[in-house]
Amino acid sequence: MDVVLFGPPGAGKGTQAKRLTDMLRIPQIATGDMMRSERASGSELGKRFDSFMSQGKLVPDAMVLELVEVRLRKDDAKNGAIFDGYPRTIPQAESLDGMLGKISRKIDRVVSMEVELDEQIQRITGRRTCLACGQVYHLIYNAPPANGRCGNCAGELVQRKDDTEEVVRKRHEEYLANTAPLLGYYGAKDLVVSVSGVGSLDDVTERIKKAIGV
Ligand code: AMP
């Protein structure tokens, strides 16, 4: 099964994608996470990603395509994937259709997670992410253990550089200009199911499971 988790920054895509991976035994393909780990490696490519990410701008489509092509070839993605934060433009969606088509697959469902802008900003600015395993916490809604380390692996928890209010507003503008039009692209293929992204983590997971029929 190939599913796109769609929605604005702070909709909860990453958190829910991680929960679904465990249940469905297919990997999360999160281009933002992949770019952050490339950046953390200190490579030249990582520095190029950072020049866009730190300003809340989208990374050019050609660079994203290369990342996803390599990732999709890995063995764990042979039965499907949960795409999180990708595709983010219509050309990315077209190239994903092409890549999946070559291996006789297609997007089965696009789950659009809906959350208001004020809520997105509140969620994002309180977000803390584990440097080691990527687990996501929120200082209020999903508080990390009292020792301030990751509950899974005791890794260090950090705030993402682009999770400040100023950059979040820029990311939201990018979302409206370039990413939201994908709802029309996938809507024309009758693939979109909208779910509210507001509520407990379990409630939202249940809505997504219903939307994808598992
Ligand atoms: P995310 O972790 O999905 O919130 O992405 C963080 C940042 O990484 C975005 O604001 C973009 O700068 C960049 N990024 C992640 N995924 C993509 C993508 N599919 N296309 C373009 N830029 C991306």
Q: Which of 125, 142, 29 is nearest to 82 (CA)?
A: 29
171 is an active site residue: yes
Q: What are phi and psi of 181, to 5 degrees?
A: -60, -15
| Residue 93 to residue 162: CA distance in whole angstroms | 24
| Atom 5 of ligand 1: nearest residue by CA position | 32
Atom nearest to 60 CA in ligand 1:
21
Instruction: Considering the candidates 18, 36, 123, 171, report the single residue annotated as catalytic.
Output: 171
Question: Residue holding tokens 């993605």?
Answer: 77
Q: How far is the CA of 124 from the centre of ligand 1 (A)?
A: 14
Buried/exposed code over 82-115 (b: 16+ C-beta within 10 A; e: otherwise):
bbbbbbbbeebbebbbeebeeeebebebbbbbeb
Which pLDDT score is estimated for 106?
98
13 is an active site residue: yes
179 lines ligand 1 (CB under 6 A): no
Atom nearest to 13 CA in ligand 1:
3
- Mention the CATH class of domain 2-126+163-212: alpha beta
86 lines ligand 1 (CB under 6 A): yes
Give Rg (Cα) of the chain.
16
Atom nearest to 35 CA in ligand 1:
8
Residue 61 buriedness (CB in 10 A; 0-12 / 13-18 / 19+): middle
- Break the chain into its structural domains and give their ranges: 2-126+163-212
Residue pLDDT tens, the chain, 214 long? 999 999 999 999 999 999 999 899 999 999 999 999 999 899 999 999 999 999 999 999 999 999 999 999 999 999 999 999 999 999 999 999 999 999 999 999 999 999 999 999 999 999 999 988 888 899 998 899 999 999 999 999 999 889 998 999 999 999 999 999 999 999 999 999 999 999 999 999 999 999 999 9
